[in-house]
A and B are shown apart, each in its own frame.
Chain A
Amino acid sequence: GAVVSQHPSWVICKSGTSVKIECRSLDFQATTMFWYRQFPKQSLMLMATSNEGSKATYEQGVEKDKFLINHASLTLSTLTVTSAHPEDSSFYICSARDGHSGASYEQYFGPGTRLTVT
């Protein structure tokens, strides 16, 4: 099956610093990648959708200047949390869609990255 990896799996950073999270599709080309945020005991909330080679589309209420998304290749998307604050502490999950499968409904999820901002 299709595999999506995320790195790092967990990260602790100081308030005011930036942190980058990588999402890779290991055995398929991901034309579209999605970034979700999940607070404790809550559901997954879509933050943004990124298509390879174009700007990400952010959901309402998500600050695009704070959460920088880059999808420069068909196997890699990055989420950079800039000037992180404690309220950005969350579980970030990426997913990827295989552009060649014809199954536009299918998303493959990464294992998630737990971010703690101190």
Chain B
Amino acid sequence: AQKVTQAQTEISVVEKEDVTLDCVYETRDTTYYLFWYKQPPSGELVFLIRRNSFDEQNEISGRYSWNFQKSTSSFNFTITASQVVDSAVYFCALTGISGYSTLTFGKGTMLLVSP
């Protein structure tokens, strides 16, 4: 069984602060994929990143960065110099690679960035 834990239910920061969203996962698969999605108030899921289990390189995309640590089963997401537009719910998700695999979501972290 797969499990994704996002322990932070809600985080509030002031604009320009850096913020890290935690994600810890459990899986028995040796090959798997991890994802981060953003869900703004409109509800539509926005894909942010996909990472496979064999690629532990950290990734940076603009103000966003991700830290994947297989040893601790974590895939944390950092927003640098947060902006009000970053306010949303962020979901971490996990799936295996077989055709029968389904996507398991964490409970999400609501990020509130105030001016």
Are A44 and B91 in contact, with the CB atoms below 8 A?
yes
Binary contact track A1-45/B, C-beta < 8 Å → 1, others 0: 000000000000000000000000000000010100000011110
Binary contact track A80-118/B, C-beta < 8 Å → 1, others 0: 000000000001010100000000111101011010000
Across the interface, which residues of B come within 8 angstroms of A49, CB to CB? 102
Instruction: Please give the distance in Å from B2's CB to the nearest CB on chain A.
Output: 11
Number of A interface residues at 8 Å Cβ cutoff, please give it: 19
A114 to B59, CA, bound (A): 34
Binary contact track B31-75/A, C-beta < 8 Å → 1, others 0: 001000100001111010010000000000000000000000000
Binary contact track B88-115/A, C-beta < 8 Å → 1, others 0: 0001000111110111011110100000
Closest 3 CB pairs of A and B: A105-B33, A111-B44, A109-B45
Knowing that A44-B45, A109-B47 touch, tell me 15 more A-B residue pairs with CB under 8 angstroms: A34-B102, A41-B110, A43-B108, A44-B91, A44-B105, A46-B102, A93-B43, A93-B45, A105-B95, A105-B96, A105-B101, A109-B44, A109-B45, A111-B43, A111-B44
